[in-house]
Amino acid sequence: MAIARHRAGRERRPTLEQVAERAGVGRGTVSRVINGSPRVSDRTRVAVEAAIADLGYVPHRAARALAGNRADAVALVVPEPETRLFAEPYFASIIRGVSTELAEADIQLLLTLSSTATERERFAQYAAGNRVDGVLLVSVHGEDPLPELLAENGIPAVMNGRRSADESFPHVDGDNVGGARAAVRHLLERGAAAVATITGSRDMYAAQCRLDGYYAELAASGVDEDEGLVAHGDFSEEGGYRAMYELLGRRPGLDAVFCASDLTAAGARRALREAGRSVPGDVALVGFDDSAIARHMDPPLTSVRQPTEEMGRAMTRALLAEIAGEPAAAPGLILPTELVRRASS
């Protein structure tokens, strides 16, 4: 029901009008100075700036938004079931990237957790209700109606990641294929004879890419594929644990495993320990995401890091461009990943 009462004792802030009076100019001129219009003489600009400083004037956001038919704010939408995302450095640094980029443009960041599909539809409504200029989407699943809802309503939006190879929605993603290739190449270079992999959820495109990268690197290195070395996980620790046992049962001689996520690697590591295999002595292990777990595993886990902060910045820049009506250069942007070597391989 929103906020009911006015606060007492909060002094009234100076208005444009007062600045204008003080500077001895008209309202329009002050507005021009504030918005960096070139159509103001230097002398006038200096005088206005002085008045602004004197009065400690700060533009009133709501008034600006109302008059200018914009919000000067963008929303970052996070699926509620995945607030675990917050627990990832991945996400933290995306936010940092978004935040710095927005600060430069003097645009506010609204954080929205949406749980149900209905709530996401409601959000599209709200977004349309002139509350935000654009939307940043994180962790979008295949069935999520939000991207299309936003598109229908003509609300600029950019998502993190892709839902398929030919994603038409504007997006910024890390190079999953390249990261997986680097990981596998690293294992091969270390002399691994049988490199296995534990995949992520099969219905997620990122998991598919990481598997593709695995195959691609093997092919490039002239190593024959062996389906017995591929086990399916679901990005979870438990999935990694089960898949590792599966692999050990099928190919006891394997000496390296590329896991589709750090959590998966943690599960695999547990299974390996139970099975009496040492890491990296018997089996070398590489994960993906470079999350907090990776650094704190025993031994610390080699992992693929995505340029997350830069991804946040890139998403934001793309969104601001879209909002400004600039024609999109490309539907999406793929940023390079990096292998972080630690003791597990």
Partner DNA sequence: CACCGATGTGGGAGCGCTCCCACCGCGGCA
Partner DNA sequence: TGCCGCGGTGGGAGCGCTCCCACATCGGTG
Identify which of residues 255 and 262 has a Cβ nearer to a second copy in the complex: 262
Q: Interface with a second copy includes 9 (CB under 8 A)?
A: yes
Instruction: Pick the binder of a second copy from 72, 121, 212, 338 (CB under 8 A).
Output: 72
Q: Which of the residues 200 through 219 are near a second copy (CB under 8 A)?
A: none
Q: What percent of the residues of the chain are helix, what percent strand, and what percent coil, each to the nearest 5?
A: 50, 15, 35
CB under 8 Å, gap of 24 or more: what pairs does 125-132 form? 127/75, 127/153, 127/155, 128/153, 128/155, 130/65, 130/69, 130/71, 131/71, 131/73, 131/75, 132/71, 132/73, 132/74, 132/75
Site string for a second copy, 281-310 (x = CB under 8 A): ----------xxx--xxx------------
What is the C-alpha end-to-end distance of the chain, expressed in Å?
56
Selection from a second copy, DNA, none that 300 binds (CB < 5 to 8 A by kind) is none
Closest to 120 (Cα-Cα) out of 101, 139, 103, 94: 139
Q: Which of the residues 13 through 52 are near DNA (CB under 7 A)?
A: 13, 15-17, 24-29, 31-32, 34-35, 38-41, 43-44
What's the CA gap between 48 and 31, in Å, rounded?
Answer: 10
Min dist. Cβ of residue 261 to a second copy (A): 13
Min dist. Cβ of residue 46 to a second copy (A): 19
Q: Interface with DNA includes 12 (CB under 7 A)?
A: yes
Q: Which helix (H) or strand (E) element contains residue 109?
A: strand 108-114
Q: Interface with DNA includes 125 (CB under 7 A)?
A: no
> Site for DNA (CB under 7 A): how many residues?
30
Identify which of residues 58 and 111 has a Cβ nearer to DNA in the complex: 58
Closest to 46 (Cα-Cα) out of 252, 269, 67, 54: 54
Contacting positions for DNA (CB under 7 A): 12-13, 15-17, 24-29, 31-32, 34-35, 38-41, 43-44, 57, 59-60, 63-64, 66-69
